[in-house]
Amino acid sequence: MSDDIDDTTAQAVTAMWLEERIAAVRREMHTGRVSLKYCEGCGNRIDEQRRQILSGVRLCVGCQEVAEHWEQVRRVIRGRRG
């Protein structure tokens, strides 16, 4: 029974996160901000295609994935406290 609840919770958290990321990407696309050439996280060069697609991009793909993972963890923890 608890596995079902954990799976349901994980799916709900994933769906929320995905909706928020889609909304964030849509907002970023319309800001007209300048994308960085080098990642704020690791200093590696950000792929040109990524820079063109996402206006105002500040992180490489790897660092963005890590940042999103930790944001999701923080939301889950806050949800348990609340």
20/22 Cα distance (integer angstroms): 5
Sign of CA dihedral 59, 65, 70, 76: positive
Q: Which domain holds residue 61?
A: 7-80
In this prediction, residue 30 carries a pLDDT of 64
Residue with the bigger pLDDT between 7 and 47: it is: 47
* Token pair for 43: 């200093």
Kindly report the pTM of this predicted structure.
0.58
Q: Are 25 and 7 in contact (CB under 8 A)?
A: no
Residue 11 lies in a domain: yes
Residue 1 lies in a domain: no
Residue 50 lies in a domain: yes
Residue 2 lies in a domain: no
CB count within 10 Å of CB 34 equals: 10
pLDDT 10s digits, 20-38: 888 877 776 666 678 999 9
Domain count, the chain: 1
Residue 56 lies in a domain: yes
